[in-house]
Protein backbone atom coordinates (compact mmCIF):
# COMPACT_ATOMS: atom_id res chain seq x y z
CA UNK A 1 0.00 0.00 0.00
CA UNK A 2 2.79 2.39 0.97
CA UNK A 3 4.70 1.68 -2.27
CA UNK A 4 1.57 2.40 -4.33
CA UNK A 5 1.15 5.76 -2.59
CA UNK A 6 4.77 6.66 -3.28
CA UNK A 7 4.42 5.75 -6.96
CA UNK A 8 1.18 7.68 -7.27
CA UNK A 9 2.80 10.77 -5.77
CA UNK A 10 5.20 10.94 -8.72
CA UNK A 11 2.60 10.59 -11.46
CA UNK A 12 1.95 14.32 -11.65
CA UNK A 13 5.58 15.40 -11.33
CA UNK A 14 6.54 18.30 -13.61
CA UNK A 15 10.16 17.20 -13.96
CA UNK A 16 12.11 13.96 -13.85
CA UNK A 17 15.76 13.04 -13.87
CA UNK A 18 17.13 12.02 -17.24
CA UNK A 19 18.49 8.56 -17.88
CA UNK A 20 22.19 8.27 -18.71
CA UNK A 21 21.52 7.88 -22.44
CA UNK A 22 19.27 10.96 -22.35
CA UNK A 23 21.97 12.94 -20.56
CA UNK A 24 24.45 12.02 -23.28
CA UNK A 25 21.99 13.20 -25.90
CA UNK A 26 21.29 16.42 -23.99
CA UNK A 27 24.94 17.44 -23.85
CA UNK A 28 25.83 16.27 -27.35
CA UNK A 29 24.66 19.54 -28.90
CA UNK A 30 27.13 21.47 -26.73
CA UNK A 31 30.14 19.37 -27.54
CA UNK A 32 32.43 19.94 -30.46
CA UNK A 33 36.03 19.92 -31.57
CA UNK A 34 36.58 23.55 -30.63
CA UNK A 35 37.35 24.71 -27.10
CA UNK A 36 36.31 28.11 -25.81
CA UNK A 37 39.13 30.66 -26.21
CA UNK A 38 39.71 30.90 -22.47
CA UNK A 39 42.76 29.72 -20.58
CA UNK A 40 43.13 29.66 -16.82
CA UNK A 41 46.34 30.52 -15.02
CA UNK A 42 46.40 29.10 -11.50
CA UNK A 43 48.86 31.03 -9.36
CA UNK A 44 49.99 29.37 -6.13
CA UNK A 45 46.78 27.44 -5.44
CA UNK A 46 47.65 25.39 -2.36
CA UNK A 47 44.86 22.83 -2.26
CA UNK A 48 45.10 19.84 -4.58
CA UNK A 49 41.34 19.40 -4.12
CA UNK A 50 40.75 22.91 -5.42
CA UNK A 51 42.91 22.17 -8.45
CA UNK A 52 40.92 19.02 -9.10
CA UNK A 53 37.64 20.91 -8.91
CA UNK A 54 38.99 23.58 -11.26
CA UNK A 55 40.01 20.86 -13.72
CA UNK A 56 36.55 19.35 -13.64
CA UNK A 57 34.95 22.75 -14.25
CA UNK A 58 37.43 23.44 -17.06
CA UNK A 59 36.37 20.20 -18.72
CA UNK A 60 32.66 20.93 -18.31
CA UNK A 61 33.06 24.47 -19.64
CA UNK A 62 35.40 23.31 -22.45
CA UNK A 63 38.17 25.76 -21.65
CA UNK A 64 41.24 25.81 -23.87
CA UNK A 65 43.75 24.81 -21.21
CA UNK A 66 45.00 25.55 -17.70
CA UNK A 67 48.49 26.51 -16.62
CA UNK A 68 49.55 25.66 -13.08
CA UNK A 69 52.13 28.04 -11.66
CA UNK A 70 54.27 28.32 -8.56
CA UNK A 71 53.32 25.87 -5.81
CA UNK A 72 50.07 24.83 -7.50
CA UNK A 73 49.82 21.01 -7.53
CA UNK A 74 49.97 19.55 -11.03
CA UNK A 75 47.05 17.55 -12.45
CA UNK A 76 49.04 14.32 -12.19
CA UNK A 77 49.09 14.65 -8.38
CA UNK A 78 47.12 11.81 -6.75
CA UNK A 79 45.16 14.14 -4.46
CA UNK A 80 44.05 16.19 -7.47
CA UNK A 81 42.46 13.08 -8.96
CA UNK A 82 40.02 12.78 -6.05
CA UNK A 83 38.06 15.83 -7.18
CA UNK A 84 39.10 15.91 -10.85
CA UNK A 85 37.42 12.53 -11.43
CA UNK A 86 39.20 11.89 -14.71
CA UNK A 87 39.15 15.44 -16.05
CA UNK A 88 42.93 15.58 -15.55
CA UNK A 89 43.07 13.46 -18.71
CA UNK A 90 40.66 15.56 -20.80
CA UNK A 91 41.91 19.06 -20.00
CA UNK A 92 45.14 20.26 -21.59
CA UNK A 93 47.54 21.64 -19.01
CA UNK A 94 51.03 23.05 -18.65
CA UNK A 95 53.26 23.93 -15.74
CA UNK A 96 55.34 27.05 -15.23
CA UNK A 97 57.35 28.48 -12.36
CA UNK A 98 56.20 32.05 -12.97
CA UNK A 99 52.61 33.14 -13.52
CA UNK A 100 53.87 36.55 -14.62
CA UNK A 101 55.94 35.03 -17.41
CA UNK A 102 52.95 32.98 -18.58
CA UNK A 103 50.73 36.06 -18.55
CA UNK A 104 53.25 38.05 -20.59
CA UNK A 105 53.32 35.26 -23.15
CA UNK A 106 49.55 35.22 -23.54
CA UNK A 107 49.44 38.99 -23.69
CA UNK A 108 51.93 38.95 -26.57
CA UNK A 109 49.71 36.36 -28.29
CA UNK A 110 46.74 38.71 -28.18
CA UNK A 111 44.90 37.37 -25.15
CA UNK A 112 43.01 39.74 -22.89
CA UNK A 113 44.24 39.20 -19.31
CA UNK A 114 41.53 39.09 -16.64
CA UNK A 115 42.13 38.68 -12.92
CA UNK A 116 39.52 36.94 -10.81
CA UNK A 117 40.05 39.35 -7.96
CA UNK A 118 38.36 42.02 -5.83
CA UNK A 119 39.81 45.36 -6.95
CA UNK A 120 39.04 49.08 -7.02
CA UNK A 121 37.91 48.93 -10.67
CA UNK A 122 35.97 45.71 -11.38
CA UNK A 123 34.45 44.85 -14.73
CA UNK A 124 31.13 42.99 -14.41
CA UNK A 125 31.23 39.77 -16.39
CA UNK A 126 27.97 40.84 -18.05
CA UNK A 127 29.84 43.85 -19.47
CA UNK A 128 32.63 41.93 -21.16
CA UNK A 129 32.90 42.67 -24.87
CA UNK A 130 34.12 40.85 -27.96
CA UNK A 131 37.52 42.47 -27.49
CA UNK A 132 37.92 40.64 -24.16
CA UNK A 133 38.38 37.34 -26.01
CA UNK A 134 40.48 35.30 -26.27
CA UNK A 135 40.88 35.54 -22.50
CA UNK A 136 43.48 34.49 -19.98
CA UNK A 137 41.78 34.21 -16.57
CA UNK A 138 44.16 34.49 -13.63
CA UNK A 139 43.17 32.81 -10.36
CA UNK A 140 45.24 33.51 -7.26
CA UNK A 141 45.96 31.63 -4.07
CA UNK A 142 43.28 30.85 -1.51
CA UNK A 143 44.71 33.30 1.05
CA UNK A 144 46.52 36.07 -0.81
CA UNK A 145 44.65 36.06 -4.11
CA UNK A 146 46.33 37.20 -7.32
CA UNK A 147 49.85 38.51 -6.68
CA UNK A 148 50.63 42.18 -7.20
CA UNK A 149 53.08 41.25 -9.97
CA UNK A 150 50.45 39.30 -11.87
CA UNK A 151 47.70 41.84 -11.21
CA UNK A 152 49.86 44.63 -12.67
CA UNK A 153 49.84 42.72 -15.98
CA UNK A 154 46.06 42.30 -16.12
CA UNK A 155 43.82 44.31 -18.43
CA UNK A 156 40.63 43.84 -16.42
CA UNK A 157 39.49 42.39 -13.13
CA UNK A 158 36.26 40.44 -12.75
CA UNK A 159 34.63 39.74 -9.43
CA UNK A 160 31.63 37.92 -7.96
CA UNK A 161 29.40 40.14 -5.80
CA UNK A 162 28.99 38.87 -2.25
CA UNK A 163 25.49 39.32 -0.86
CA UNK A 164 26.17 37.65 2.49
CA UNK A 165 28.47 38.36 5.44
CA UNK A 166 31.61 36.75 4.00
CA UNK A 167 33.92 38.62 1.64
CA UNK A 168 34.78 35.89 -0.85
CA UNK A 169 34.18 32.35 -2.08
CA UNK A 170 36.41 29.31 -2.04
CA UNK A 171 38.87 29.57 -4.95
CA UNK A 172 37.47 26.56 -6.84
CA UNK A 173 33.86 27.67 -6.28
CA UNK A 174 34.65 31.21 -7.44
CA UNK A 175 36.38 29.83 -10.52
CA UNK A 176 33.39 27.63 -11.33
CA UNK A 177 30.89 30.46 -11.11
CA UNK A 178 33.13 32.85 -13.05
CA UNK A 179 34.07 30.33 -15.75
CA UNK A 180 30.47 29.50 -16.59
CA UNK A 181 29.45 33.15 -16.53
CA UNK A 182 32.33 34.07 -18.87
CA UNK A 183 31.53 31.18 -21.24
CA UNK A 184 27.88 32.27 -21.25
CA UNK A 185 28.92 35.82 -22.05
CA UNK A 186 31.14 34.55 -24.88
CA UNK A 187 28.20 32.65 -26.35
CA UNK A 188 25.94 35.67 -26.19
CA UNK A 189 28.56 37.89 -27.85
CA UNK A 190 29.40 35.42 -30.60
CA UNK A 191 25.93 33.94 -31.14
CA UNK A 192 27.26 30.39 -31.06
CA UNK A 193 24.54 28.45 -32.86
CA UNK A 194 22.88 25.70 -30.86
CA UNK A 195 25.03 26.29 -27.79
CA UNK A 196 23.38 29.19 -25.97
CA UNK A 197 23.80 28.11 -22.36
CA UNK A 198 22.24 31.25 -20.88
CA UNK A 199 18.88 29.51 -20.46
CA UNK A 200 20.51 26.96 -18.17
CA UNK A 201 22.41 29.58 -16.15
CA UNK A 202 19.46 31.85 -15.36
CA UNK A 203 18.49 35.41 -16.24
CA UNK A 204 21.28 37.10 -14.28
CA UNK A 205 23.87 35.48 -16.56
CA UNK A 206 21.96 36.36 -19.72
CA UNK A 207 21.30 40.03 -19.11
CA UNK A 208 23.03 43.00 -20.73
CA UNK A 209 23.24 41.49 -24.19
CA UNK A 210 25.17 43.56 -26.74
Q: For the segment 94-117, what is each residue's pLDDT rounded down to a tens digit? A: 999 999 999 999 999 999 999 999
* Percent of the chain residues past pLDDT 90, beyond the cut: 74
pLDDT top residue among 167 and 113: 113
Q: What is the pLDDT of residue 33?
A: 75
Spatial CA neighbour of 38 closest among 15, 58, 16 = 58
CA distance 147 to 34: 31
Average pLDDT, the chain: 88
pLDDT top residue among 175 and 203: 175
Q: How confident is the model at residue 194 (pLDDT cuts 50, 70, 90)?
A: very low
Whether the CB-CB separation of 182 and 137 falls below 8 Å is answered with yes
Q: How confident is the model at residue 29 (pLDDT cuts 50, 70, 90)?
A: confident
Position 193 pLDDT exceeds 60 = no
**pTM for this structure?**
0.84
Whether the CB-CB separation of 99 and 73 falls below 8 Å is answered with no
3-state secondary structure of 195: coil
Please give the CATH superfamily to which domain 34-206 belongs.
SPOUT methyltransferase, trefoil knot domain (3.40.1280.10)
Q: Is 130 exposed, middle or buried (0-12, 13-18, 19+ CB in 10 A)?
A: exposed
* Average pLDDT of the segment spanning 32-41: 92
Alpha helices by DSSP H, 29-97: 48-60, 78-84
Distances (CA, A) of 137 to 16, 127, 129, 134: 36, 16, 15, 10
Q: How confident is the model at residue 126 (pLDDT cuts 50, 70, 90)?
A: very high
Q: Where in the chain are the domains?
A: 34-206
Amino acid sequence: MGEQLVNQSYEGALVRKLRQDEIEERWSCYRGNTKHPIVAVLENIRSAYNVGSILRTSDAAALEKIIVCGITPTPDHKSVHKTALGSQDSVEWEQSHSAADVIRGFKQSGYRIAALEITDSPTPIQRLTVSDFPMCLVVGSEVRGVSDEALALCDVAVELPQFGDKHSLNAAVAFGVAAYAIVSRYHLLHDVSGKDISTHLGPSMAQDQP
